[in-house]
Amino acid sequence: MGQHAPKFLIVYNADGGIFNMVADGIHKVVSPDTYPCSLCAVSYGLVSMHTPWRKYLKSLSYEVVFHHKDDFAEAYPGHEIALPAILVRKAGAMPEVLIGKDELDALEDVNELIALTQQRLAERKDAALAA
């Protein structure tokens, strides 16, 4: 997709890098109640993204961009939001929160994540962003 295509931004409450990925995986297993990224917990298993979420993201009609909190802060300096979050960004605009931290924290599984995402995209009535 082109540089001006609408974007679907997934921002995890975790830092990027292999060391952090391994540490996060261990934290999820050892102490899931204190794991800080509910979006990671719902959308990923121990080592990979849950298949229904991956398929859903591929079905969307716009570019999906993944960020960790460190590279999101670098890409959008001064755009501070509570993480994790799912955002949408139209060309030339700042990202807007589609699903915020509190809502993501309340989800119990990937099916709820998909249903909430579909609902929010439909509420936006934005044909360019709807799957």
* Count of domains forming the chain: 1
* Within a domain: 26: yes
* Within a domain: 129: no
Q: Which amino acid appears at position 9 of this protein?
A: L
* Domain span at 31: 7-124
8 A C-beta contact, residue 47 and residue 40: no
Q: What is the mean pLDDT of each run of 10 residues along the chain (131 residues)?
A: 75 66 52 60 77 94 89 90 93 91 93 95 66 45
CA–CA distance, 86 with 104 (Å, rounded to integer): 9
* Within a domain: 131: no
Q: What is the pLDDT of residues 21-48, one digit of tens each?
A: 545 555 455 555 654 566 777 887 777 8
Q: What pLDDT, on a 0 to 100 scale, did the predictor assign at position 33?
A: 61
Which DSSP letter does residue 66 get?
A: E
Angle at 110 between CA 53 and CA 80, to 5 degrees: 85
pTM of the model: 0.79
